[in-house]
Amino acid sequence: MSGVSSDQLHKSTLSVYSNLMEHFNPGLQKLVALGNSYIKAFQALGVCSEAYFSAVAKMGDQALHTLSSRSLGDVLIQISETQRRLTAEMEGVFRWFQIEVLQAMEKNIKLDEEYIDGSRRVYELEVRNQAEALEKQLRRGTYRDSLENSEYMLYLRQSHQEILKEEERRYRFLAEKHCGLTQSLLFLINKVFIHTGHPTQ
């Protein structure tokens, strides 16, 4: 960001702080609340799925005791088992999602609010001190170097880079956690449907 004025740098740094505090963390907070509802809805679905496929298995068991439909009884019981296995695996994914994504996000929000708030206060104080020091030097005529290389500008640039890294770290955390969710779904689909020699294949 060479050629950018100290004011622009300072404003850009502050806007990242504001974004993290006013948008990112509240957004994460909202995700946690929505995610908890999502998990509850999945648990309710799991109960209904279990009731339904347990009734299908019962029909399959009835068929096993007929003269006409024993092999169809086997098919019904196998379908029921596949669906129950799928539900059980999905429960595993949602448990992982609850612990590794939602609880991790919730923990991060609390720690982050304090951290970002403190870091911003330190930054603003340091900027004020450095600006005053530079101004004094300029007034006394004791400053000889170019403003571009001043300690003040170096601090602004470094702080700007650091807060961008912090911001990127937070979005990366969010993206990685949710990639993990999709990967878990893929993994279980492979496990349940592709590698179990399901009767429909």
Q: Per rule CB under 8 A, is residue 91 in the interface with a copy of itself?
A: no
Specify the stretch interacting with a copy of itself by CB under 8 A; choose among 2-10, 63-71, 129-137, 141-149: 63-71
The answer for 146, left when phi > 0, alpha when psi is -120 to 50, beta otherwise, is: beta
Identified binder of a copy of itself from the candidate list 11, 95, 136, 165, rule CB under 8 A? 165
The length of the chain is 201
Count CB neighbours of 191 within 10 A. Answer: 13
Options 67, 142, 144, 149; binder of a copy of itself; rule CB under 8 A: 67
State the minimum distance, in angstroms, from the CB of residue 108 to a copy of itself: 13
> Nearer Cβ to a copy of itself, position 40 or 136?
40
Selected from 110, 129, 158, 171, the binder of a copy of itself by CB under 8 A is 171
Sign of CA dihedral 23, 26, 32, 35: negative
State the DSSP code for 197. Answer: T
Dihedral sign computed on CA atoms, order 60, 65, 66, 70: positive
Q: Which helix (H) or strand (E) holds 175?
A: helix 151-189
DSSP secondary structure letters along 54-79: HHHHHHHHHHHTSSS-HHHHHHHHHH
Of 50 and 143, CB closest to a copy of itself: 50
Q: Which residues bind a copy of itself (CB under 8 A)?
A: 12, 16, 19, 23-24, 27-28, 30-31, 34-35, 37-38, 40-42, 44-45, 47-49, 51-52, 55-56, 58-59, 62-63, 66-69, 72-73, 75-76, 79, 82-83, 86, 164-165, 167-168, 171-172, 174-175, 178-179, 181-183, 185-186, 189, 193, 198-201
